[in-house]
């Protein structure tokens, strides 16, 4: 029996570079001279750190840029390896780069100590060692000083402020001051929130700047919340060398970000509105940068994210006739293909927002069929019903998932709100089938977005992906259970 079908895939490439800017002048304003020095050229560097005098850089190279991974492709070494690199930039034209650690599952967030002799970083070195480590700039043995968390080093002493907890998850209710040499806790400070994304210690040691949800907070050394300011921003926050302001990256329309400075008075209160320092930065939606504490030189990751759609004709003998369907510098993603292989639906990002498009595969022409009216951070998914009559397109923000159901024949769109993450697949014309937020089962929503039925999975099973059979009576799932990834099939009405 011959099996033939057509599939669509999103193939992405990241063009990234670590970039040096001139030092910030005394008034913290960038002059017309925005000359820069590019120090990486393979497009796969991330998590930048710069020493206090700006003469050394540290950055990470790792397997891939997918959710749950540490970040950036490295073609120079084993593909299961993450590598922090240190570059000597005392002579910018011929800087020297060398590995200081290698062959580890992940490394993130390096920060130089006050003298630039060592780097503090988050890592999993092997199956038994995961946490916060200190490593000499010249290499050697990494010493663990804490568990997994966020941290910053002190500008003038061997101390680290540390908050235990994983990225984008609740953190410990207090911060610890650690001795870099021994890892001993010398003080603890109550924090006003358990959802802190990043923390920066002021040069005079009196304040902490923290990113909390949509706020930037200034906290005193005793844990007192001094001032706050709402702003849309990326995770990283840094102080100016003089301690008279904090620097953040603010998300801007389309692909651009902008680095802004918020002035801070001597008493720790904000002294004015955010001031634009570096406009129109393409930073891969990450906003990763660091500031040299004594010279004000800035290191940041810059580049462009390119993601295109391809189709493949697949048979039992393998894939053939690969064809690129989109060619542009904007974002394409979340493809769903019709059961007959004639149409491709996908999300496209542009100046208006991230919107739903239809591509006729035979004619190779695309048209816009729905607007999401979304700018800024959001996750998108599309889904195709088994009969090809309905398409879902969902946008998930931090607070809500909005699902649109497109009737392919009439182009009528029904918008509904659902308490799920993915958006789901059209089911029984007016219903949607999706994964429970916990991943421990399936849920059917009615036409109003309310839960009509739940199909609970076993406690040991987490659903990663799913699709329905052509007759919509069964569900095929990619499951995580017992530390393994397996395929499973169950009737839609019950778990078997």
Q: How confident is the model at residue 147 (pLDDT cuts 50, 70, 90)?
A: very high
Mean pLDDT of the chain: 77
Q: Which residues of 71-105 are buried (b: 16+ CB within 10 A; e: fewer)?
A: bbbbeeeeeebbbbbbbbbeeeeebeeeebbeebb
pLDDT digits (tens, 9 = 90+) for 320-347: 777 888 776 566 777 888 888 888 888 8
* For range 472-494, the mean pLDDT: 83
- Whole-angstrom distance, CA of residue 161 vs CA of residue 171: 13
Confidence of residue 209 (pLDDT cuts 50, 70, 90): very high
> Which of 53, 51, 47, 28 shows the shortest CA–CA distance to 246?
28
Distances in Å between the alpha carbon of 153 and those of 115, 117, 224, 363, 479?
A: 11, 12, 20, 58, 41
How does residue 120 score in pLDDT terms, banded at 50, 70 and 90?
very high
179: pLDDT confidence band, cut at 50, 70 and 90? Answer: very high
Give pLDDT tens digits for 238-253. Answer: 999 999 999 999 887 6
Q: How confident is the model at residue 24 (pLDDT cuts 50, 70, 90)?
A: low
d(CA 458, CA 441): 8
State the pLDDT confidence band at 13, using cuts at 50, 70 and 90.
very low
400 vs 376, residue with greater confidence: 400
Contact of 345 with 336, CB cutoff 8 Å: yes
Question: Is residue 22 very low, low, confident or very high in pLDDT (cuts 50, 70, 90)?
Answer: very low
Nearest to 207 by CA among 248, 171, 174, 239: 239
Instruction: Tell which wins on pLDDT, 358 or 370.
Output: 358
Burial grade of 490 (CB within 10 A; 0-12, 13-18, 19 or more): middle
Lowest mean pLDDT across 70-79, 231-240, 293-302: 70-79
Statement: residue 43 has pLDDT above 70: no
How confident is the model at residue 240, as a pLDDT? 94
Q: Percentage of the chain surpassing pLDDT 90? A: 23
pLDDT for the residue 136: 87
> What pLDDT is stored for residue 228 in this prediction?
93
- Asked if 222 and 199 count as a contact pair (C-beta separation under 8 A), the reply is no
Alpha-carbon separation of residue 246 from 180, 200, 213, 341 (angstroms): 24, 9, 17, 52
Q: Confidence band (pLDDT; 50, 70, 90) for 146?
A: very high
pLDDT exceeds cutoff 60 at 310? yes
More confident residue, 470 or 304: 470
Res 458: pLDDT: 83
Average confidence (pLDDT) over 150-154: 96
Q: Is the pLDDT of residue 1 over 50?
A: no
Three-class SS of the chain = CCCEEEEEEEEEEEEEEEEEECCCCCCCCCCCCCCCEECCCCCCCEEEEECCCCCEEEEEECCCCCCCCCCCCCCCCCCCCEEEEEEECCCHHHCEEEECCCCECEEEEEEECCCCCEEEEEEECCCCCEEEEEEECCCCCCEEEECCEEEEECCCCCEEEEEECCCCCCCCCEEEEEECCCCCEEEEEECCCCCEEEEEECCCCCEEEEEECCEEEEEECCCCEEEEEECCCCCCEEECCCCCEEEEEEECCCCCEEEEEEEECCCCCECCCCEEEEEEECECCCCCEEECCCCCCEEEEEEEEEEEEEEEEEECCEEEEEEECCCCCCEEEEEEECCCCCEEEEEEECCCCEEEEEEECCCCEEEEEECCCCCCCCEEEEEECCCCCEEEEEEECCCCEEEEEEECCCCCEEEEEECCCCCCEEECCCEEEEECCCCCEEEEECCCCCEEEEEECCCCEEEEEEEECCCCCEEEEEEEECCEEEEEEEECCCCC
The yes-or-no verdict on residue 68 having pLDDT over 90 is no
Tell me which of 371 and 129 has the higher pLDDT: 129
CA 69 distance to own-chain centroid: 10
What pLDDT, on a 0 to 100 scale, did the predictor assign at position 99?
52
Per-residue pLDDT, averaged over 422-428, amounts to 72
Confidence (pLDDT) at 96: 44
Q: Is the pLDDT of residue 206 over 60?
A: yes
The lowest-confidence range among 65-69, 118-122, 275-279 is: 65-69
Q: Which residue has the higher pLDDT, 251 or 80?
A: 251
Mean pLDDT, rounded, for 454-466: 83
Residue 39 CA, chain-centre distance (Å), reads 23
């Amino acid at each position: 029996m011959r099996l033939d079908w057509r599939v669509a895939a999103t193939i992405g490439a990241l063009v990234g570079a670590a970039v040096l800017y001139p030092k910030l002048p005394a008034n913290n304003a960038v002059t017309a001279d925005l000359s820069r020095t590019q120090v990486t050229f393979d497009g796969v560097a991330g998590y930048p750190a710069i020493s206090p005098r700006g003469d050394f850089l540290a950055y990470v190279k790792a397997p891939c840029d997918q959710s749950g991974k540490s970040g950036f492709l490295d073609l120079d070494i084993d593909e299961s390896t993450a590598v922090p690199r240190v570059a000597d930039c005392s002579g910018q034209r011929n800087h020297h780069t060398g590995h200081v650690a290698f062959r580890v599952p992940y490394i993130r967030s390096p920060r130089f100590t006050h003298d630039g002799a060592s780097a503090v970083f988050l890592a999993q070195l092997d199956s038994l060692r995961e946490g916060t480590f200190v490593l000499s700039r010249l290499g050697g043995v990494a010493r663990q000083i804490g568990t997994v968390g966020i941290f910053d080093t002190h500008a003038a002493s061997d101390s680290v402020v540390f908050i235990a907890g994983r990225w984008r998850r609740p953190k410990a209710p207090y911060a610890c001051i650690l001795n870099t040499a021994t890892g001993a806790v010398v003080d603890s400070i109550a924090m006003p929130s358990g959802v802190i994304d990043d923390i920066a210690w002021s040069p005079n040691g009196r304040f902490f700047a923290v990113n909390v949800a949509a706020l930037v907070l200034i906290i005193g050394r005793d844990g007192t919340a001094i001032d706050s300011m709402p702003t849309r921003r990326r995770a990283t926050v840094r102080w100016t060398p003089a301690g008279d302001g904090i620097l953040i990256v603010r998300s801007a329309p389309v692909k651009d970000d902008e680095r802004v400075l918020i002035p801070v008075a001597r008493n720790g209160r904000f002294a004015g509105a955010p001031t634009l320092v570096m406009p129109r930065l393409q930073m891969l939606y990450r906003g990763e940068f660091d500031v040299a504490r004594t010279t004000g030189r800035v290191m940041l990751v810059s580049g462009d994210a390119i993601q295109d759609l391809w189709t493949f004709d697949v048979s039992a003998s393998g894939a053939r006739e690969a064809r690129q369907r989109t060619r542009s510098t904007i974002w394409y993603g979340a493809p769903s293909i019709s059961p007959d292989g004639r149409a491709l639906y996908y999300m496209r990002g542009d100046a208006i927002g991230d919107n739903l498009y239809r591509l006729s595969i035979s004619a190779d022409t695309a048209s816009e069929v729905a607007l999401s009216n979304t700018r800024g951070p959001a996750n998108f998914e599309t889904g195709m019903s088994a009969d090809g009559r309905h398409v879902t397109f969902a946008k998930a923000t931090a607070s809500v998932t909005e699902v649109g159901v497109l009737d392919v024949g009439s182009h009528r769109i029904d918008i509904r709100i659902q308490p799920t993450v993915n958006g789901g697949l059209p089911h029984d014309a007016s219903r949607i089938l999706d994964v429970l937020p916990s991943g421990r089962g399936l849920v059917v929503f009615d036409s109003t977005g309310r839960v009509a039925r739940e199909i609970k999975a076993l406690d040991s099973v987490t659903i990663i992906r799913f699709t329905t059979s052509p007759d919509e009576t069964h569900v095929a799932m990619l499951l995580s259970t017992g530390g393994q990834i397996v395929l499973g099939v169950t009737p839609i009405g019950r778990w078997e």
